[in-house]
Amino acid sequence: MSNSVVTNKGKEKLWILTAQCPSRLGTVDVVTRTLAETENYIVAMNSFDDRATESFCIRVEFRPLSGDTSLQRFRDLFAERTPQFEMNWELTEPGHKTRVAVMVSKYDHCLNDLLYRYRTGELAIDIPVIISNHPDLKHLADWHGIPYHHLPITPDTKAEQEAEVWKLINEYDCELVILARYMQVLSSDLSKKLDGWAINIHHSLLPGFKGAKPYHQAWDKGVKLVGATAHYVNDDLDEGPIITQGVQAVDHNHYPEDLVAKGQDIESQTLARAIRYHTEKRVFLHGNRTVVFSD
- DSSP-assigned states of every residue in the chain: ----EE-TTSPEE-EEEEEEEE--TTHHHHHHHHHHHTTEEEEEEEEEEETTTTEEEEEEEEEETTTHHHHHHHHHHHHHHSGGGT-EEEEE-TT--EEEEEEE-S--HHHHHHHHHHHTTSS-EEEEEEEESSSTTHHHHHHHT--EEE----TTTHHHHHHHHHHHHHHTT-SEEEESS--SPPPHHHHHHHTTSEEEEEE--SS---SS-HHHHHHHTT--EEEEEEEE--SSTT-SPEEEEEEEE--TT--HHHHHHHHHHHHHHHHHHHHHHHHTT-EEEETTEEEE---
Mean pLDDT score across all residues of the chain: 92
The predicted-structure confidence for 109-125, as pLDDT tens digits, reads as follows 999 999 999 999 999 99
Rounded Cα gap, residues 254 and 252, in angstroms: 5
Q: Which CATH number belongs to the domain containing residue 69 in this structure?
A: 3.30.70.260
Judgement on whether residues 183 and 37 belong to the same structural domain of the protein: no
**Domain match, 132 and 54 both:** no
If asked whether residues 145 and 224 sit together in one domain, one would say yes
Q: In this structure, are 267 and 150 located in the same domain?
A: yes
**What pLDDT, on the 0 to 100 scale, is given for residue 136?**
97
Last residue of a domain, one of 92, 108, 135: 92
Tell me what pLDDT residue 207 has: 66
Among 92, 126, 151, where does a domain finish? 92
Does residue 170 share a domain with residue 42?
Answer: no
Question: Do residue 139 and residue 258 come from a single domain?
Answer: yes
Encode pLDDT of 44-55 as tens digits.
Answer: 999 999 998 899
| pLDDT tens by residue, 256-285 | 899 889 999 999 999 999 999 999 999 999
251-261 pLDDT, tens per residue? Answer: 899 988 998 89
Q: Are residues 126 and 86 part of one domain?
A: no
Q: Give this prediction's pTM.
A: 0.91
- List the domain range (segments joined by +) for residue 51: 5-92
* Pair (172, 57) in one structural domain: no
For the chain, what is the domain count?
2
Q: Which residues are catalytic?
A: 238
Q: How many residues does the chain have?
A: 295
Q: What is the pLDDT of residues 68-110, one digit of tens each?
A: 999 999 999 999 999 999 999 999 999 999 999 999 999 999 9
> Domain end: 74, 92, 110, which one?
92
> Any idea what the CATH number is for the domain that residue 257 is in?
3.40.50.170
Given a cut of 60, whether residue 5 has pLDDT beyond it is no
Contact between 98 and 175 under an 8 Å Cβ cutoff? The reply is yes
> Looking at the structure, do residues 141 and 242 belong to the same domain, yes or no?
yes
Same domain, 63 and 102: no
Cis peptide before 155 (omega within 30 of 0): no
What's the pLDDT score for residue 6? 35
Return the pLDDT at 206.
58
